Structure 1
Amino acid sequence: MAATIEELLTRCVAACCPGASGVTGPRRLSGGASQETWSFDIVHPDGNVGAILRRAPPGYGAAPTRAAGLNAEAALMQLAHGAGVPSPEVLHVLRPQDELGTGFMMRRVEGETIPRKILRDGQFADARPKLARQCGDILARIHGLPQPELPELRRMSPETEIAQLDQEYRGFDRPRPVFELALRWLRDHDPGPSAEMTLVHGDFRHGNLIIGPDGVRAVLDWELAHTGDPMEDLGWICVNSWRFGEIDQPVGGFGSREDLFAGYEAAGRRVEPARVHFWEVMGTLRWGIMCCGMMQRFRLGPDHSLERAMIGRRSSETEIDLLRLLAPRGGAHAG
């Protein structure tokens, strides 16, 4: 009979926590279709340790082409944590003998990731005005991580990103005039490769930040990390889809671009607003195309879940966002 997840974790924790006698309360958290996330406590005589397992289950195939892979993700998190970036501490990278697949264990960080709670609940009222500047500071530190210490990552430029989006969009064979407009605008306004290529987190936004009453406590989900234009991360967090209804607060629904940029520059890095705007357009189109992909999977299979359909219909929202960015009323830059 195959060992249970609790039995496998019990055997595994000895490698990362000497003296541990087992685990308690393993439960699977909601997550993507390709990876699993488990929460559990490591039982130890010096006090239990809250932990998270992030893994691709045994037998799962290769990671999606845009993903850096879980081993690279663990290496990036170890590097970030060691440099003082708020990132969970990696306790153990899984080995074949652990029989848990590919992935890693990390220390659990308490806090909230649900955007609507962060943007509305009273316990975060004092934190909200500080979050945009904190995000700028954290991104500056991510972009400053030493290149020689990075794992092998994809190198991306605006040109390659546009080509990838165009290929994905054409694959749906469902023309959308606003997406055509956005692709043409991106080609016409391609700023070229950045003068400085840095680590790019690739998915720095609401849902991937653990936030407490004191502010940002941890950055999660480094799986889309690559090297490229650092302004990409600043543009991505400003995409309207991550504001969750608070459209007048461009940075995650909680702050201004000015505060984001101030935090970034106070940490010793330079903002290029025109490039940030380019990447905000790119990010908005990317999310729209990702939504179309969700709808395609719902319509054609293999995933006919209501969640896929609900995300898929949000492609129409990104069309409105793109029009606000590219053809704002009165000619002014849209928020």
Structure 2
Amino acid sequence: MDKTTVQERLGTALSRSVSEDFRVDGLRLLTGGSAAQTWRFTLHRDSGAEDFILRLAHGGEPFEMGIDKRMEAAVQSHAVAHGVLAPDIILVIEPEDQLGEGFVMKLVEGETIPQKILRQERFANARPRMAAQSGRLLADIHRVPVAELDFLPDLSVAPQLAALERFYASFGEPVPLFDFTFRWLQRRMPAAARKTLVHADFRNGNLMVDESGIVSILDWELAHLGDPMEDLGWLCVNSWRFGNRELPVGGFGSREDLYRGYREAGGELDEDAVFFWEVLGVLKWGLICLYQTGVHLKGIDRSVNRAAIGRRVSETEIDLLSLLSDPRAR
């Protein structure tokens, strides 16, 4: 869909929620990633001009463990209403808008590109704060009441492992180390944990950061109900360190600071379960890499981005070997 068409249809959609006269301009595509397109635009009203973000589903085969954009908007709005640091949703796209699935949310200024956050002098004061801050923000997410979130899938450890095995089998492309890791995970599943809202993609790249630290949590498209330790394990996956292997929390901090922030905010921590979910997180990322390259190679969505992600399967194998030889894995 070209920019002119998106802008015209966006204007029609906005007319449902904007009561005063308005116009839309400055529409530009920020990213056209594997899961969604992100557009920025300016909304001019009598009361002034304000920038917003339009998130649209990108198409291609749906990821079994993901949620649709309407669900994503609902869970993000629910989290914001209970004090979680995420952008306000102002509009959910309807079928008659002819834009596909999506929503409009308020713009939060900052940076999301990990290589900039981890290396630029601008963020030098923010980086040492971000691990403890991540712990506090995750504790906020895990306190959100879930009674109104019954539309979310339950991906506690057993159903999640089963879903991942189905996902893996659908490729018909065995990876011996992945087979071994599934067996390791099945033997070491943690005891039943409390069930909370899980963001499931809280990591460097999905966090908006400025000079003060994290200012917003983005990309709720994998949110589900499950074990809260999943979020902490996922944040420690090596792929999100972007070369800073010695800083296990997103390439910017230590596990000790992450755990301290989580506990200080009232979070109940199980370090052994965090390690289990870190191993599962590396395996899951390896499967997602297989999925992305499959979408590209099958011609469903030819994309350099998808093909490049697919090449990272071998990285996850190296990370799994490192984790499974760790004393914590015995």
Per-residue CA deviation, residues 153-182 of structure 1 (Å, 9 max, x unaligned), is: 101121222222222323333332221221
Q: Rate the CA distance shift 1:61–1:240 in 2: closer, same or farther, 3 A.
A: closer
The 2-side partners of 1:198 and 1:320 are apart by 31
Q: Which residue of structure 2 lines up, in the alignment, with residue 295 of structure 1?
A: 293
Aligned partner of residue 42 in structure 1, secondary structure: strand
TM-score w.r.t. structure 2 length? 0.92
CA drift at 1:97: 4.3
CA drift at 1:13: 2.6
Q: Which residue of structure 1 lines up, in the alignment, with residue 153 of structure 2?
A: 154
Q: Which residue of structure 2 lines up, in the alignment, with residue 46 of structure 1?
A: 47
CA contact (8 A) 1:13 1:22 kept: no
Unaligned stretches of 5+ residues in structure 2: none
Unaligned stretches of 5+ residues in structure 1: none
Equivalence map 1:34-113=2 (5 Å) = 35-56=36-57, 63-113=62-112
Per-residue CA deviation, residues 106-137 of structure 1 (Å, 9 max, x unaligned), is: 11111101000000001100000000111111
Amino acid at match of 2:41: F
CA drift at 1:233: 0.4
Match of 2:226 among 225, 228, 250: 228
Amino acid at match of 1:249: L
Q: Which residue of structure 1 lines up, in the alignment, with residue 278 of structure 2?
A: 280
The 2-side partners of 1:332 and 1:104 are apart by 42
The 2-side partners of 1:130 and 1:97 are apart by 45
Q: Which residue of structure 2 lines up, in the alignment, with residue 138 of structure 1?
A: 137
Amino acid at match of 1:282: L
The 1-side partners of 2:18 and 2:150 are apart by 25
The 2-side partners of 1:34 and 1:135 are apart by 24
Q: Rate the CA distance shift 1:167–1:97 in 2: closer, same or farther, 3 A.
A: closer
CA contact (8 A) 2:60 2:300 kept: no
CA contact (8 A) 2:61 2:300 kept: no
Per-residue CA deviation, residues 69-112 of structure 1 (Å, 9 max, x unaligned), is: 21121112212222221100111122344443332111111110
Residue 203 in structure 1 maps to residue 201 in structure 2: yes
CA drift at 1:61: 8.6
State percent identity of aligned pairs. 46
Q: Which residue of structure 2 lines up, in the alignment, with residue 217 of structure 1?
A: 215
TM-score w.r.t. structure 1 length? 0.91
Q: Rate the CA distance shift 1:148–1:226 in 2: closer, same or farther, 3 A.
A: same
CA drift at 1:252: 0.2
The 2-side partners of 1:305 and 1:53 are apart by 21
Per-residue CA deviation, residues 252-300 of structure 1 (Å, 9 max, x unaligned), is: 0000111111111111111100000000000000111111222333444
The 2-side partners of 1:288 and 1:267 are apart by 32
Amino acid at match of 1:54: R
The 1-side partners of 2:159 and 2:71 are apart by 21
Aligned partner of residue 170 in structure 2, secondary structure: helix
Moved more, 153-162 or 247-256: 153-162
The 1-side partners of 2:309 and 2:156 are apart by 27
The 2-side partners of 1:143 and 1:122 are apart by 32
CA drift at 1:188: 1.0
Residue 171 in structure 1 maps to residue 201 in structure 2: no
CA drift at 1:66: 1.5
